[in-house]
Structure formats: structure tokens, C-alpha cells
Amino acid sequence: KESQAEKFQRQHMDPDTSTVTASYCNEMMKRRNMTVGQCKPVNTFIHEPLPDVQVICFQGNVTCKNGKPNCHQSSSKMRITDCRLKKGSKYPKCDYQTQQLQKSIIVACECVQYETVDFDGSV
Ligand code: CPA
């Protein structure tokens, strides 16, 4: 079974893409299985090396949106792509808006190997 850390990587990691096209989110949301059964409404891809994302677990501790205490904010800005389902888009035709941003990100980390398990936002 897919672990929480593996799920985070499938949903949020894309280190090798530097420039994204307008169709990036439509292609990636499908390729990474986030358009199965329903269109996932919002999802962020991170274009930085995995180790640079994993060390966020040792950076600034913040409260998660769900009130849990295990979120961490990156000390540096990261290259990310924000994917948002367009208004009027209806499953199974998942049509996303693609927006490239450079922002500090917030992730949740869990003990075992202290790995990133949730993308909590960008600020
Ligand atoms: P995901 O990373 O799979 O916010 C809902 C989803 O939208 C979330 O999906 C992230 C994504 N999103 C995004 N970019 C944004 C805003 C939202 O990509 N700008 O996280 C969901 C999974 O993580 C669930 O299995 C529950 C788990 N989870 C949530 N908070 C957690 C916490 N504090 N500790 C451990 N697991 C947590």
C-alpha cells in the first residue's frame, strides 16, 4: 500500500520541471492519478529537489490548518505550481487553471521517518 510519504511525493513533487505550460495542470493532475473518481479541487506541485523539501520538517514550526501542531514553513521561497479546478469544470473532464508561483510553503510532517505527508499551503 502507498505510504503517506509516497502519496505526498506522487501528489506534490515534480523537481525536474522548471517552466510549466498552460496545460501543465490538466496533464499532471491526470498523470498523477488525482482525477480518478473525482477531480481533486486544489493541488500544488513543488519544483525543488526532494531533500530540499524534506528538510522543511526541521524548519519553522507552525500550526496546521486543521489545528494539528506538526506543520513547518520553508525558510526559503520555492518554485511551485498551483492547480485549481476551473469553475464549471465537471468530472470526468477535469479542467485546471495553472499558476506558477515562488512562495514559502507549509507542509505537515509525521514522526516515523519524519517525512512530509501533507501540503498545507503557501504564504
Ligand atoms: P493532501 O496533501 O493529500 O487541503 C486539502 C488537500 O489539498 C491537501 O491534500 C493539500 C491540497 N492543497 C494543495 N495546495 C493548496 C491547498 C491545498 O496542494 N494550496 O493532504 C491530505 C492528507 O494529509 C490527508 O490524508 C490528511 C493528511 N493530513 C492533513 N493534515 C495533516 C497533519 N497535520 N498531519 C498529518 N497528516 C495530515
Give pLDDT tens digits along the chain (123 positions). Answer: 998 889 999 999 999 998 899 999 999 999 999 999 999 999 999 999 999 999 999 999 999 999 999 999 999 999 999 999 999 999 999 999 999 999 999 999 997 555 687 899 999
Decide if 108 contacts 59 (C-beta within 8 A). Answer: no
The rounded distance, in Å, linking the Cα atoms of 82 and 25 is 8
Distance of alpha carbon 66 from alpha carbon 21, whole angstroms: 32
Q: What is the ipTM of this complex?
A: 0.95
Rounded to the nearest angstrom, the distance between the alpha carbon of 93 and the centre of ligand 1 is 23
> How many angstroms is it from 123 CA to the middle of ligand 1?
15
Size of the chain, expressed as the number of residues it contains: 123
Nearest protein CA to atom 20 of ligand 1, as residue: 118
Instruction: Tell me which residue has its CA closest to atom 23 in ligand 1.
Output: 118
Task: Let me know if 87 is exposed, middle or buried by CB neighbors in 10 A (0-12, 13-18, 19+).
Answer: exposed
84 CB near ligand 1 (under 6 Å): no
